[in-house]
A and B are shown apart, each in its own frame.
Chain A
């Protein structure tokens, strides 16, 4: 007997696809209004236009904020992933109570509410005598994304056969050489996953950035927040938003396709593909 009868299958199908429609509805709304010839996003539609895209691209503050966020996110992704490798390799060597303690400490940023962490970092900056800066935003973003990097990298490192690096070292490679020539190429898919997750999290982060970014240098989410309350800016924001949405969804599709391809090449088993999907997404679920 199957788990669901014909009626159950039908209603679950309907429910699922209705939900997908619900989840994508706001995105569709933004894309539609990005091409609507009206200052105010309201129905009925007023005809097709591309003027908002032209206007948005000539809005230096907006494009500047997007570029700023992209820079911060890229730095964060590289930095957090590098720290994540260090942490994961360190964790592999630990056992027992030391391991539990180190994991608890490293995953701590997952359970401290961003708003509390943000004001704490603001206080720290003030105590150090330095004002808000984009560097501070990167540090804040690196600390909140480090747990994601570890959650993606550690299981992948653990799944490698230690005999491979041992063989390399028996054949004369140094520990660093074995890591660079054997381990690193094998964890490339996990590195890419970690980088993407950290990038997306940082690019989208508002709470910490809103407290740590200097007032004249808003990040993209800060600019979004400000313009959500300024009707004149809304069309620009919607236009850039539509592009960001398309780019993000494309990134998800390409990353997923690329990872499946890489996993199939490296491991050649269905189980690895399942892990590749489940692990990064589970770790993502901790995001606030």
Chain B
């Protein structure tokens, strides 16, 4: 018990403490430079001249919420199909849905780059079919909000379908039978019985995409333009090409706090409750 706990404390909690120390100026990555407690970076980010980073933060939250909502809506019919239509082969088909995830994420983003590029698959197909004059690319296809949102949507849809599917599978199917026996139409049964009962899965799926997308920075690097960079990209830049570990720590800690708040708000819907014994939460 103790070794794994210590492992997590040293490799997760201690780094967070260091991030906090950097964010208030108590440490510095430049050797020999003086360190003292200062909230200047926090003040700059929250209310001062760091408007560019605040703007990027707001943009990130907006695109994250948008992708989460669209992904959840698109995933619901997939889960419904698996649970109610594809009864016999539902686990095999679920695996089919999840299989692309097991291949490299970067490879899939690169594939999307090849598809959406200015001389990529979509554009060259349009040219070959004489639907657009050769050499004229669809402008919003790549390095746009569309391309970033599409890649994130693509990545997360199967994982939103999963918790919804689990909830639908564990639903008491006698309830829907009772509803139809009592004269409810198919749509009334769905909207008054099935859908309300599946809401915990819907919320869990929503969180499954919301939390990882909040810290995303790879998709914007490869398919986003300068205006589509996310908050994670700001953090990466401060620890990479233009180092300012103190300001970067302010942003990194902000991201941790935002995600932890989301977890506190939504966490009880997640099916990772291991406290109870076998069969719990199923």
Contact = CB atoms under 8 A, between A and B. Distances in A.
Interface of A: 1-5, 8-9, 12-13, 15-16, 19-20, 22-27, 29-30, 33, 40-44, 83-84, 86-87, 89-91, 93-94, 99-100, 102-103, 105-117, 119-124, 126-127, 139-140, 142-143, 146, 150-151, 154-155, 158-159, 200, 203-204, 206-207, 211, 220-221, 224-225, 228, 237-238, 241, 244-245, 248-249, 251-252, 256, 273-274, 277-278, 281-288
B255 to A, nearest CB: 5
B57 interface: no
Given A113-B259, A151-B274, A204-B106, A15 B4 contact: no
20 contacts: A16-B78, A20-B97, A27-B111, A29-B121, A41-B120, A43-B125, A86-B3, A89-B1, A91-B1, A121-B15, A124-B15, A204-B105, A206-B218, A225-B221, A228-B222, A244-B104, A252-B99, A281-B94, A283-B272, A287-B212
B148 interface: no
A115 B62 CA distance: 19
A221 B180 contact: no
A1 B95 CA distance: 28
Given A87-B1, A87-B5, A207-B217, A140 B11 contact: yes
A18 B127 CA distance: 24
A93 B95 CA distance: 34
Contacts of B229: none
A12 B77 contact: yes
Contacts of A116: 16, 19, 215, 235, 252-253, 255-256
A124 B18 contact: yes
Contacts of A159: 278
CB-based closest 9 A-B pairs: A90-B1, A120-B15, A113-B215, A26-B111, A288-B212, A43-B124, A87-B4, A3-B84, A143-B11
A87 B232 CA distance: 31
A25 B185 CA distance: 37
A140 B128 CA distance: 47
Contacts of B99: 249, 252
A283 B101 CA distance: 13
A200 B11 CA distance: 21
A278 B166 contact: yes
B6 to A, nearest CB: 10
A109 B215 CA distance: 13
A37 to B, nearest CB: 15
B271 interface: yes
Nearest to A142: B7
Contact of B260 (A13, A111, A143, A228): A111
Contact of B98 (A110, A112, A221, A281): A281
B104 A106 contact: no
Contacts, number: 287
Contacts of B121: 29, 41-43
B104 A288 contact: no
Nearest to A109: B12
A26 B101 CA distance: 12
B79 to A, nearest CB: 10
A42 B95 CA distance: 31
Q: Dominant SS at the A interface?
A: helix
B138 interface: no
Given A33-B114, A43-B125, A106 B8 contact: yes
Contacts of B40: none
A112 B16 contact: yes
Contacts of B125: 43
A241 to B, nearest CB: 5
A105 B29 CA distance: 29
Interface stretch (B42-50, B139-147, B157-165): B157-165
Contacts of B108: 26-27
A16 B84 CA distance: 13
Given A26-B111, A42-B119, A113-B232, 20 more contacts: A26-B154, A27-B100, A29-B114, A30-B114, A44-B128, A106-B8, A113-B211, A113-B256, A115-B217, A123-B245, A146-B4, A221-B104, A224-B106, A224-B107, A225-B222, A244-B103, A248-B102, A282-B163, A285-B159, A288-B215
A241 B108 CA distance: 9
B277 interface: yes
A132 B263 CA distance: 31
A248 to B, nearest CB: 4
Contacts of A106: 4-5, 8
Contacts of A111: 211, 259-260, 263
B199 interface: no
B206 interface: no
B38 to A, nearest CB: 17
B69 interface: no
Which of A40, A105, A116, A274 has the largest number of chain B CB atoms within 10 A? A116
Given A116-B252, A285-B162, A12 B80 contact: yes
A119 B252 contact: yes
A143 B12 CA distance: 8
A3 B124 contact: no
B186 A221 contact: no
